[in-house]
Structures are given as structure tokens and as C-alpha cells.
Structure 1
Amino acid sequence: MMENFISRIYLDGFDEDSYLFEIDGLKKFKELDFTSPITIFTGENGSGKSTLLEAIAVNWGFNPEGGSKNFNFSTHDTHSPLYSSIRLAKSFRHAKDGFFFRAESFYNVASNAQDIGIGIENGFIEWGGKPSHEQSHGESFLNLVNNRFRGDGLYILDEPESALSMQRQLSLMVSLKELADEGSQIIIATHSPLLLSLPGAQIISLDSDSPLEIDYQDSKPYQLLKLFYEDKELLFSKLFD
């Protein structure tokens, strides 16, 4: 296995008056090792997984709303200050490519790229003879991964499943596994039990007061899906009675 571009992150701490101190998954966080080419953050809403993912991306040099390091637009300046409190332990390997995907702002990224004329020739704005804004959200995202992600890079994805059907999530898993096998590093935040099952992925739960590495079977998305299929009546009785 090739060395990861980011091998470890450190949190230097932040002001206890900061709202960040109220995020359960970050209260006692000091450091985290990346032990696999694919690392997946999971946790309930508000657990801090997307906040931590964003901080890593911004610290690396990505635009807070997404895109590559070449993107510097700002539609809404709402990113957290956590990026200034973390340190990244980087390898001597140079990432030849990289991209930060945020489902909530991908439209803005594509619009900005189109406005400034980036990427028609390399498959970002247009692929398959169709501009990105003429494709569905899921279609344009999968084409982004398959045509814009060139490999040997760092790819950070925040809740990519929000744009994708289950079948398209399986397609995404194949593409991400191929990228990782060929030397890329991929960091994901997700609620999807499908994406969490990526072979060889390191799963980090932020449902405790510090990031905790867990097995797939111990993740809440898996456990809820398992309960749904094995005892749907019990689940529904708890929900609706």
C-alpha cells in the first residue's frame, strides 16, 4: 500500500467558548491516524463529521465550498474555524490531483467553473457531449468522479450519497476503490450503509466524544438497516406506537 498523503491529523484545541466545543465528536479529540487509503467518517447529524472533513479540506488548501485548489470563489462564507486548529501530518508523496466535493454546494462549484471557463477540455464542465447543468445531480457527480478525478490524488467527499440512487452508490464504490488501489487517498463523510461497506475502508465514528475507529457491523447505519430487514415490525412499533 502506498503512503497516504495525509497520515495523521492533530487537533491543537480551541476556545472552550467556541461552539465547536459543543460538538460531541470533537470534545476530547487530540489526534487521528489514517491507516487505510479510504477513511470514512460516520455519525449522527451534529456529531461533527462534516465539520472535521471540511477542516481537513480547507487546511489542505481546498476552497471551503468545494472544487480543487484552483477554486477561490465564495457564495456563502459559512465554514467553521476548525481548520486553523488542526495540523496535518503529510507524506513526502506529492498529490498530483485533488478535489473537495460537497453535495450542498456542488451546483455552485459547477456554476463557477462554467463562468470562468475551467475544464471543458478535461471533462469537468462537459462530458459525454452534455454540460453539467443539463445532467441530473447524480449523473453529473458520477461523471465528475469518472472523468475529472485523474488519480494519484486526495479526494474529500462530504455526503456524496445525497445525489445518488442505491445503484449509483454501488457504481461510485467501484470508482473510488479503483482510485484508492491506484494510489489515491479518499476521505468521506457519510450516512450511507452502502458506502460504509467499501472494502478495506477505515471507519471512524464521531458518535462519542472523540473519533473512534469501529467495525462496519458496529456502525449505526448498518445496525438500523439490519434491524429494518430482520425485524421491521419491531422497528415500526417503536416508531409509530
Structure 2
Amino acid sequence: MIKALPYLQEICLDLSGVTSFDEYPFDIPSIRNLKSLSFDSNVTFIVGENGSGKSTLIEAIALLLGFSLQGGSKNFQYEEGQNLPPLFRYLNGIKSFKQPKDFFFLRAETFHNVSTTLEELYAQKKDVLLKNYGIDLIRSSHGEAFMAVLANKLKGRGLYIFDEPEAALSPSRQLAAVHLIDSLVKKDSQFIIATHSPILLAYPNAVIYQFGNEGIRKIDYEETEHFMVMKYFINNYHEIISEVIREDIREP
């Protein structure tokens, strides 16, 4: 029996037309060595150190699916010109026979731009914006706006791409986000999320891909650096803090 979910089941990367692997983003090991990536679960996490290529791939997937690089729903198209990251032009997606009804790309870095543009577009129809998000995005904190997306904007049966959604969320809000993500998964939704959050990564039955200099590999939650470092820190925080603030090891 063919599965209806996930909606985006696999991406394939064909770099045969790339002329130089010494330039961004093709100089990133995880991107240069990527052939395909399967999405076998309704929730897929992409993790890795800064610069490992996780956000680069998330952006490319979003562009492949027709989102603006700034983020938002597929109805939101921000004027971006021709300077789009090139990776998405080398991507192909394998999709389910069943199409999602809802779409959203939450990119923490640029969500304020989306909020500002929406405020301008709906200047005369603020009731519509309030109906969609439940709050005034511009006059709310970054974290409140992120939670409003999860709680009010996303309706289910959706394909949702998130890039570091924890950036503006406190630990308790991250736990609340896990609850909201789960409620949307139960409404036949798919999430692909780049994150550094050990709280989000604990979501059960998620697939976790580790990006690094050796390429990409699937790992378990307790194998992630995020889990191991946080566990070690909590159990040994006095010694660790004393060590990292020692004057003789401070950076110049």
C-alpha cells in the first residue's frame, strides 16, 4: 500500500552541472556529498554545527516548494530579485500522491520581515490578520509571534518547513511548541525542521539527520551533541562554568 504521508518523501540533488566546488554552497561537505535524503517520518530534524549546511538545505527545500526565501505561506511572495541561493535549482522532490492543503515556511532569521510586510499589506484589513494569527504580530515579541503561527495560523494537513524555530522561544515555550507540533502531526501534517534545540529534538519517532564534515547520517536522539552536551552540563554545571571562565583559557 502506498503511503499518503509524508507529503514530501524524498529530495534528490544532481550536482553534475556545478562548475566549481570551491564556492558556496557547494564547498560545504554535507551538500557536496548529498545524493538524496528520505523523509520517512512526519517529523524530520536536521542538526549540525553552525556552517554545516542545515539551513542552506532547508532554504533550498523551501524554494523548491515555492516559498519565498523570507518565509511565510505560499501566498506570501516577497520581492527578492535574482539573488536567490542557487542550491534549489539542483534539487528534485519526490512527493506523495496526496497533496497537503496548508503550507508554511518559518525562517527565524527573517520572520520579522514577513510580519512587517503583512502589516503593510493588511493595513486596512487588520481583522483578517488577527483572524489568521490571533495576535498583532508587529506589537508582539518574536517568541509570541512564533507561537501564534503554530497555535493559530497552521491548520493541519500541512507541509511545514522550519528553520531554527527555537531562536525566540524560552524552554517552557519550546515544550509548548512540541505540544502544538504534535497536535498538527495528528492532523496529518509533516514537519522538516532545522534546529539546535534538545527539547524539540526529543519529539518521539522523529527522524534526525546529522550534518557534518563527513556528510550526512541518521542518528538517534541520545547520539546528538545537543543531548549529550546539555546532559553533561546539567549534571556538572559548577565544574564546567568554573573551567570555561578561568582567566588563563579566555580568548584574547
1:113 and 1:125 in contact (8 A); partners too: no
Structure 1, unpaired ranges of 5+ = none
Alpha-carbon offset, residue 230 of structure 1 = 2.2
SS in structure 2 of the partner of residue 131 of structure 1: coil
The offset of 1:70, in angstroms, is: 1.2
Structure 2 gap ranges (5+): none
Match of 2:111 among 75, 100, 106: 106
Give the aligned length: 239
Q: TM-score, normalised by structure 1?
A: 0.91
| 1:223 and 2:225 correspond | no
Q: 1:187 to 1:148 in 2, by over 3 A?
A: same
Q: CA deviation at 1:189?
A: 0.5
Equivalence map 1:1-12=2 (5 Å): 2-12=4-14
Q: Tell me, yes or no, if structure 1 residue 121 matches structure 2 residue 128.
A: yes
Give deviations 1:157-193, integer Å, cap 9, x for gaps: 1000011000000000000011112211101000111
Matched, 1:50 2:55: yes
Partner in structure 2 of residue 33 of structure 1 = 38
Question: In percent, how many aligned pairs have the same letter?
Answer: 38
Larger CA Rg, structure 1 vs 2: 2
1:74 Cα deviation after fit: 3.1
Structure 1 residues 238, 4: closer, same or farther in 2, change over 3 A?
Answer: same
Which residue pairs with 1:169 in the alignment? Answer: 174
Q: Please, what TM-score do these two structures have when normalized by structure 2?
A: 0.88
Select the residue among 207, 212, 217 that pairs with 2:212: 207
Q: CA deviation at 1:23?
A: 1.2
Letter in 2 for 1:11: L
Alignment of 1:54-133 (within 5 A): 54-74=59-79, 79-117=84-122, 120-121=127-128, 123=130, 127=134, 130-133=135-138
Aligned mates of 1:225, 1:22 — CA distance in 2: 30
Give the deviation of 1:207 after TM superposition: 1.8
Give RMSD over aligned pairs: 2.1
**Does the C-alpha gap of structure 1 residues 110 and 222 become closer, same or farther in structure 2, counting only changes over 3 Å?**
same
Residue 21 of structure 1: how far off its partner (Å) = 2.4
Q: Distance in 2 between matches of 1:225 and 1:26?
A: 27
Q: Which runs of 4+ in 1 moved over 6 A?
A: none
